[in-house]
Each structure stands twice: as structure tokens, then as C-alpha cells.
Structure 1
Amino acid sequence: MSPLLALESHLPVLPVLVPLLTAVLLLALGDGLDGRGGSTGLRTLLRARVVSLTSIALSLGIAVAVAVDAHGGEWRVYRLGAWEAPFGIVLVVDRLSALMVLLTQAVALPVAAYACAGWDARGRHFHALLQFQLMGLNGAFLTGDLFNLFVFFEVLLIASYVLLVHGQGRERFQVGVPYVALNLAASGLFLIGVALLYAVTGTLNLADLAVRVGSVTGTDAVLLQVGALLLLVVFGFKAALLPLHLWLPATYAATGAPVAALFALMTKVGVYAIVRVHGVVFGEGAGESALLVAGWLLPLALAGSLIAALGAIASTSLSRLVAWLTIASVGNILAAVALFNAAAWSGAIYYTLHSTIVVAGLFLVTDLLARERGEDADRLATTAPLAQPALLGTLLLVLAASIIGLPPLPGFIGKLMILQATTGPAAPWVWTTLLLVGFLSLLSLSRAGSVMFWKVTPEPASVRRAPARLVAATMLLVAAMVGLSAAAGPLKRYTDAAVVQLLDRDGLARAVLGPARGAEAVRPYRPTGTPQ
């Protein structure tokens, strides 16, 4: 086998393996922040930056290759250790997982470049922790079984605990302690839910679960549903679904801008898990457990989005405002997921791309503004004029217009796709809420912009200018957001195809379990001692 073919055969595992090896290498090389200082410490830090950025750029290229490979519509299954599913660990690449990995790397590159302008030097091992978090994110999107979803959740969460308090400070430690405690509690519920599913079905492989749950009845079905609802609590906490969202505004506002921008991906892991588990495994073919969360998800998503929009209006700082808008955008996505139809899911995927990039960009713009405003930072208070009002105002305006949903930006396109897919009794609620949330977001961002750019004191303009490197990194995200509009047609065709593939439970079972293990061939699991 040629090296190229060998590399192609291992393509699905590379998005996990590359950041893992990079993180280990960075820990071995050090980051120059061990107290030695001087030219040696500076060279070590520069080396760590080069290694980290090179690795992310390489991973971005790999993600593009994975997405191109997945575009053909075939499932690429990677069996670690050559163990057959459902007993071995599998990574599964389809259109949706490939797109989410590509999104992760596309956001990570400008965020890492932004951090390299000095923010990474405020604490130790920033780049190693960043790589571990990318490993966890990519693994969560690619894994083919629930237990390893838990493992990758823990990897990205452990990295996030340290990244959250990077640079230290009283406020970060104050929000960090409850963040860690709540996530540990959620991890415990995750294990309980997984244990219940395994006790009833005898498997945690998602493809295997999808064909087994439909035959579970009676008391076993009740236990299965309890496990599934526990997982909804866990995934809802990660996604900041009402009423599990209260931790997010203070947490995201307190941490550093690059970390908050990267954390925009973490809520999408929760959304992705809800789609995979409650949309597919417990979807329409799940027998007595079909569409288990349908009655809960839509009202919670809509109410959460509306409350978040009100929270944005009440915010006293731009970072907290953006954090509330993060919750509102997740509510919009989950409202589309809760419609449980293919067209709405396609809109949800497109809107996920938009909201992740825009929220990350808004956090970086917030930091740029804070740098020029001095002691007032990002507080919505009158201060001296900015040094670069035209540049920063334009960046904020473009990103704000998209998250509000103004045409022709991707926020408008994503909302339009969701609204067009909304039919039946839910239509008035979805239309009213999404439009009202957009209007409230307009009010909150208009207020923030007027305070920061127009309601200024008569003092001379600030002499602090945002470094060009930081502006360039932020512009990469703005350009990516604009690119979503330019490529809206091809992207919609891709998201439509991704949903069709996502809902093909039998095709997934044949790809992961083998041709002889299709849906009709998988016998229901019976616990020991159960009469045949």
C-alpha cells in the first residue's frame, strides 16, 4: 500500500490524533513561562506558538479532506484496534460530523492566532490545553458510541476548566468553581444515563442502539426512557438549554476573549449530541420511545431564546451581552431541531455554522474594544472616544447585523430556512419567537453600539490602538461569516444531503455493523434470565 493510500485509510482518526500528539509535544517542549524569562523563555514561547499554529493549520487541511471525502455520501468507519462494532471503538464520518470538525478547525485557527499576540503568555500551557480541547471537540463529533462521547466530553471539559481561569483573577476563579462543580454533576448523570441504556440494550454503539431501541417494550422501555431523559439533561446543560443555562453568561463574560470564542463551539457539542441521540436513536423508528423529547424540547428552546434576548438587553457589559446572545442562538437551533423534520434540521445545521462563527467573532471584537477603552473595558458606560472607531465599528456592525438576522447575511438565511420549514400548530410560536428575539437582539446591540461609539466624553480620543495582528485574526472570522452567505446555495445542498444521511438509520447500521447486521437482522438484546 502506498503511503498516500495508507494516510487516506487513517483519515478519520487524524483530527483526534494530530491535536493529541501536538499537545504531548508542547508539554514536552515547554512554553517558556516557567520563571526563567529572558531570551530563552521568549524563544520557547515562540516555538510553542509555531508548533500550535502549524498543527491547527494542518488539522484544518485534514478537516477539509475529511469533508471532501464525506461529500460523496458514504459513511467512513474507522475501527480502532480492528475490533468489530459494536464491541470495539469506532469513529464514524458522515457529512454532518465532517462539517462540524471543519467548523471546529476553522474557528480554532483565528482564535489561536489571536491568542498568540500576547494573551497566551498570561498563564502556562495555553497551547497544549487548546490542543487537548480540540482533540475533545473533534472526538465528540466523530465518535460512534455513547461511552466514548462521554470520554471526549471529559477531555474537552478538563481542558476548559484550566482555560477558563487562564490569566487568573478573582472573577474567573469565582465562576470557575461552580462551572467545574456543575460539570462534574452533569458527568455523573451522563454515566447513570449511559448505564441505564446499556442495561436495557446491551450496547452503547449509536448505530446498534438505533436498531435495538425500537424493539424495547414494557418495563425495559421505561428504563430506557429514563436513561434518555437523563442524557437530555446532560446535553441540555452543555448546550445551555433552559433552565440549565444560568451558568453560561457569567462564565463566558469572565474568561478571556480567545477562550470565550473557542467556547462558542462547546454549546454546539451539546446540540450535536441531542441530534444524534434524541433525533436519530430515539427518533421516529424508536418504537415506544420514539420522539421522546418532542413535547419538551420546543417550548424549552423557544423560552430559552426569548429569556436570553431579554438578558442581553439587561446586560451591563458587551461580553455578557454576547454571552446571552450565545444562549439565544442555541435556542433558535434547538427550536429547529425540535420540529423533527428534514428541512428544519437542514436550517439548524446552517444556522449552527453561522452562530458559532459570529459569536466567536463578537467575543474577539469585544476584546478589541476593551483594549482601546482602558479601565472601562467593555462596560456599557460613557468613556473617551475610541482610537479606531470606523474599523471596530464596522466589524461590530457586520457581526451584529448577522446575529440579528438582517439580509443578505447568513443569520438571515439560516432563520429563513428554519421559518420556511416550520408548519403546523408550532408555526405561530416559532415565527413569533424567532422574529421577536431578532428584534430584541437589535435593541440590545444598538444600545451597546450607541454607548460605545456615540455617547462619548469630550476628552481626546484614546491613544490605545488594537494591534494589527488581533484585528487580522478577527477579520478572518468576519470573512468566514461572509463566505457563508456567498456559498449559501452549495451549503444548503450539503446540509440537505447531510440530514438525509443522518436519518438513514439502516444505512448507518450496515456501514458500522456490517452488511449482515442491518436493521432487520439485529436481534433485540435480552438480559440474562429473561424468558425467550
Structure 2
Amino acid sequence: MNHALILPVLLPMFAGSLLLLGASLSPSLKRCISMLATLLLVPLSGYLVWLANQDVLYTYAVGNWVAPFGIILMLDRLSALLLVVTAVLASFAVLYAIRGDDERGKSFHALFQFQLMGINGAFLTGDLFNLFVFFEILLIASYSLLLHGGGVDRVKAGLHYVVLNLVGSSFFLLAVGVLYGITGTLNMADMAIRVAAAGPEDAALLGAAGMLLLVVFGLKAAFLPLYFWLPKAYASASAPVAALFAIMTKVGLYSIIRVYTLIFGDEAGSLANMANDWLWPLALLTLALGVIGALAAVSLQGLLAYMVVVSVGTLLAGIAIGTEQALAAALFYLVHSTWVAGGLFLLADLIARQRGDKQGLLVQGPALQNPHVLGGLFFFGAIALAGLPPLSGFLGKLLLLRSVEPGVQAVLLWSVVLGGGLLTLVALSRAGSTLFWRVGLSQLGSAELDHGRLLACAGLLVLSLALMVGAAPLLSYVEATASQLHDLALYRQIIESGAAQ
């Protein structure tokens, strides 16, 4: 048994517990512990990617109870990829936070680590109930992180966020209870076998539970009509929290990929690919309405929050198409969109710090103290976000557009994605001209540009260029990931072998 599989859960759990119990520790020591624990996740997740790249499905039986009777963690190419994306994003977010944002509330670093524990656990678990457990861990931490720093806007957004997610958690438990009652198992690989073998008398109830799960995952992923909580929540959160939240919607999308390819995938009988007919129109509508929201945004943070919704719609389109090529394109775009969105949330805060009471509002304000540096980063990020060459957003969208066969589906996808890209460019151009050109003659004396914060922001944005330079190995990896996800026999070995590898 390879114990490295459980370390992405244990490392932030122990670090968070230490930080919570050591509330009297000095701020510098807390920062060192949090930074070290987060940075260690990067080489650890890199090692897990190396393991997953060997085309072997690794499992970890907690307590040495073999599947399907015990709780297992499961490492495949998809979970390993998302662990890397999370670790890199979190490292830059915590680097930004230790420059002073972590002092705006209590227990920031402990909560940050517990959220990483929940996210990593969700990506690794092979058990549907423990997916719920890790959802709750990351959500409880995110409730407090969203309120970090206080303020009326954060409290209002946090209240909506908490209520909606509590409702979603109730639906999740109800769906899991129904599935367990019919199949007699919570292990996802075992459940896939039993759903495929279920008789027609159980199909309707299994389908209802599956659709209820889709509602839950849709709330987490924030697609239409369940995304209305996201813009206010993300726009009001502090910069490092908003940057980390860039991975939150991906947890919901990951759950959709996992459940609706494994449990309700190609071999699920009458329930095979039951979600695809719903996901396709929802994806296009989410993308379109996200762009409209970005055009109507009154603040830079609000615009970026709607850009997260746009990325959700784009990713959902790739998932809904259902082919390996489309899924590979969606996974490449997922990496790009997560890192670029995180970097732009950090940049929005850097700009707001130089605009006084105007902050991120898209209205005329004072001249920026560092317009060339911040403007250059904004231009770079806008190109990446809009999907223009030579950055990774262009390649991700190109791969997605090429993945669809000629026909009505292609016309719809090309129209919405290209039209959305054009309107995204308009929204970002309007924001850029307001922030950098329509400015007063004087600068604020209190304006600042912390170099540590600047490094964290630039580091995330530059990764878009790195994704283009290293596109070949990443494309090879995501193509193999899409192929592996459709190899259901590989996942069934977890049950057939009766033991962890």
C-alpha cells in the first residue's frame, strides 16, 4: 500500500489542527507552518501525477478494510491532475495572504488548511458518502474564509452561500441514501456494477437519485440556474480567498465527471449517460448568461466572478459532448481557467489598493501609482481569459471547438464560444480603459504595491504562458486521462481484486 495517497489529506489536516490548537503562536510562525504545509503539497502532488501516469489505478484502503466494505482513496489520472492544480493555486494564494491579508481575521491559516484538506479529499475519495464528508469539510472552512475580514457585503454574500449549500447538502444526503438503499453500497466502483445490473423496477428511483445528485453538483459547480450565489460571494471575498475559490467550482465539475462516467456512464443500461441531454443546453446557457453578467458588472471583482461562470459553461460543454477528445479539451481548459482566474483575483486587489475608496469599481478614479506594471499584467491576463493567442486560453478553446463533429451541435458551440469570447474581450477592454485610461491627474499618497503580492499574482498569470510552452506533455496527459475515464473495466478491478494495490 502506497501511503503517499493519503498524505494530501493528512498534511493539511495536521497543519490545520496545529494552527488551530496553537492559537497563541506568533503570526510569523503560523505563516511559516501554513506556507510550508502548502508548498509541500506541490512536490507531493507531482509525485502522485508520476504514479498516475503509469496507467495503474492506485487505491488506499483506510484501516486496511478492502473494497467495497471499507473506505478507500482512489488515485487515477484525473484526481492526480486536480491535486496539482490545487496545490499550485494554493501556494500562490497563501504567498499573497502572508503579506498581511491573513491578519484581517482569526484562524485564517487553519481554515485555509482545512479547506485544502476537503478539496484534496474530494478529489481522492472512491466512496460516495465520503465525497459528501469532504464536501462538508471544505464548505465549513469556506463559510468562515468568505467572511474573513468582515464587512456588510461579505456577511450578506456569506449568508446566501451558507443557506444554499446547506440545502444542497441535504439533497446530497437524500440522494446518497436512496442509492445506498437500492444498491447496498457506497463505493463508487461497486455502485457502478450494481446500477448496471439493476432491473427496470429500480431504474426510475435510481434515475431520480442520479438527477438529484446532478442538482447538488450543479450548485457546487455553479451552472444555470444555480450560479446566482457565486458572483456576490466571489466578488466580496478577500483576494487570496477568492483566488483559492477558483478551484471550488471545479470540485463540482469533477464530481459530475466522476459520477456520470463511472456510475451513470456508458454501461449503466437504461440510465447510461443520463445527464448529457441536460448538461448540453445548460452549458451553453451558462456561458451566454455569464458573459452578459460580465458586461453588466460594476466592479472588476464582479466581472471576474462572472468570468468564473463563463469558464464553468465552457467546461460543462466539453463534458456534455461526451467524447474523449472533448473531455481532454475540457481538462486542459480547466487547468488554464483555474490558474488565470486565481491570478486575476489577486491582480484586482492590487489595483483596488491604489484606487482609494473607488477600489475595484469600474468608475473614474485616481491615477495608479504603477500603471505600467499593473496594466501589463491586466493586458496579459485579459488575453488569456478571452482566449486569444498566444496564451493557453486560445489553445483550450481551439481544442474544444475541434472536438465537436460538424452539424447543429457544432454550429451552436462555435457560435456561443466565439461570440462569448468576443463579448468577454469587450467587457475586459471596457474595464481596462476605465481603470488605466479614464483616471484623474493625481495619485493617492497611500497607494502601495507590495512586491510579495505582485510576485504571487504574476506567478499565477505567467503559468498561462507556461501551459503553452509545455502544452505537448499536458495534452498527452489529459488525452490519456479522458481515455482512462472511459475504461470502466479498470475501475471495476477495485472490487474484483478485493484488495488495494
Q: Do both share a fold (TM > 0.5)?
A: yes
**8 Å Cα contact 2:104/2:148 also seen in 1:** yes
Which amino acid in structure 1 is aligned with residue 92 of structure 2? P
- 2:54 — aligned with what? 72
Q: Is the deviation greater in 384-393 or in 451-460?
A: 451-460
Match of 1:345 among 317, 327, 338: 327
Which amino acid in structure 2 is aligned with residue 179 of structure 1? Y
- 2:432 — aligned with what? 449
**8 Å Cα contact 1:373/1:462 also seen in 2:** no
- 1:127 — aligned with what? 109
**8 Å Cα contact 1:211/1:505 also seen in 2:** no
Match of 2:245 among 263, 281, 296: 263
**CA deviation vs aligned residue, 1:61-110 (integer Å, no higher than 9, x gap):** 11111111111110111000000111100000011100100110000001
1:143 has 2:125 as partner: yes
Query: Structure 1: how far apart are the matches of 2:24 and 2:102?
Result: 10
Match of 2:77 among 95, 100, 118: 95
**CA deviation vs aligned residue, 1:4-40 (integer Å, no higher than 9, x gap):** xxxx8201000000000001111122165xxxxxxxx
Query: Structure 1: how far apart are the matches of 2:448 and 2:104?
Result: 20
**8 Å Cα contact 1:386/1:462 also seen in 2:** no
**CA deviation vs aligned residue, 1:295-318 (integer Å, no higher than 9, x gap):** 110100110110010100000000
Q: TM-score, normalised by structure 2?
A: 0.98
- 1:412 — aligned with what? 394
Which amino acid in structure 1 is aligned with residue 308 of structure 2? T
- 2:87 — aligned with what? 105
1:13 has 2:10 as partner: no
Which amino acid in structure 1 is aligned with residue 434 of structure 2? V
1:462 CA displacement: 5.7
- 1:63 — aligned with what? 45
Which amino acid in structure 2 is aligned with residue 437 of structure 1? G
Match of 2:193 among 206, 211, 235: 211
1:485 CA displacement: 1.0
Q: Is the deviation greater in 357-366 or in 471-480?
A: 471-480
Partner SS state of residue 459, structure 1: strand
Query: Structure 1: how far apart are the matches of 2:181 and 2:402?
Result: 41
- 1:364 — aligned with what? 346
**8 Å Cα contact 1:322/1:362 also seen in 2:** yes
Partner SS state of residue 247, structure 2: helix
1:203 CA displacement: 1.2
Query: Structure 2: how far apart are the matches of 1:151 and 1:297?
Result: 25
**8 Å Cα contact 1:245/1:327 also seen in 2:** yes
- 2:469 — aligned with what? 486
**8 Å Cα contact 2:68/2:498 also seen in 1:** no
Pairs within 5 Å for 1:125-524: 125-423=107-405, 424-460=407-443, 464-510=447-493, 512-515=494-497
**CA deviation vs aligned residue, 1:304-355 (integer Å, no higher than 9, x gap):** 1100101000000000000000000010000110001000000010000000
- 2:19 — aligned with what? 26
Query: Structure 1: how far apart are the matches of 2:236 and 2:219?
Result: 19
Which amino acid in structure 1 is aligned with residue 469 of structure 2? A
1:182 CA displacement: 0.7
C-alpha spacing 1:340/1:470, structure 2 compared with 1 (3 Å): same
**CA deviation vs aligned residue, 1:43-71 (integer Å, no higher than 9, x gap):** x0000000000111111111111111111
**8 Å Cα contact 1:217/1:288 also seen in 2:** no
**CA deviation vs aligned residue, 1:102-137 (integer Å, no higher than 9, x gap):** 110000001001000000001110000000000000
Question: Which blocks of at least 5 consecutive residues in structure 1 are unaligned?
Answer: 1-7, 33-43, 518-532
C-alpha spacing 1:162/1:31, structure 2 compared with 1 (3 Å): farther
Which amino acid in structure 1 is aligned with residue 451 of structure 2? A
Q: TM-score, normalised by structure 1?
A: 0.92
1:476 CA displacement: 1.3
Which amino acid in structure 2 is aligned with residue 436 of structure 1? G
Which amino acid in structure 1 is aligned with residue 183 of structure 2? T
**8 Å Cα contact 2:207/2:271 also seen in 1:** yes
Q: Is the deviation greater in 169-178 or in 77-86?
A: 169-178
**CA deviation vs aligned residue, 1:161-192 (integer Å, no higher than 9, x gap):** 00000011111111111111110000000001
**8 Å Cα contact 1:279/1:340 also seen in 2:** no
Partner SS state of residue 365, structure 2: coil
**8 Å Cα contact 1:384/1:462 also seen in 2:** no
**8 Å Cα contact 1:383/1:457 also seen in 2:** yes
Query: Structure 1: how far apart are the matches of 2:212 and 2:267?
Result: 20
C-alpha spacing 1:31/1:402, structure 2 compared with 1 (3 Å): farther
1:461 CA displacement: 6.4
C-alpha spacing 1:460/1:374, structure 2 compared with 1 (3 Å): closer
1:481 CA displacement: 2.1
Which amino acid in structure 2 is aligned with residue 303 of structure 1? L
Question: Which blocks of at least 5 consecutive residues in structure 2 are unaligned?
Answer: none
Which amino acid in structure 2 is aligned with residue 339 of structure 1? I
C-alpha spacing 1:293/1:319, structure 2 compared with 1 (3 Å): same
Q: Is the deviation greater in 297-306 or in 193-202?
A: 193-202
Query: Structure 2: how far apart are the matches of 1:31 and 1:189?
Result: 39
Query: Structure 1: how far apart are the matches of 2:364 and 2:385?
Result: 25
**8 Å Cα contact 1:95/1:498 also seen in 2:** yes
1:219 CA displacement: 2.6
Give the number of equivalent residue pairs.
Answer: 498
Q: Is the deviation greater in 169-178 or in 265-274?
A: 169-178
Poorly superposed stretches of 4+, deviation over 2 Å: 458-463, 514-517
Which amino acid in structure 2 is aligned with residue 425 of structure 1? V
Q: Percent identity?
A: 45
Q: Is the deviation greater in 173-182 or in 144-153?
A: 173-182
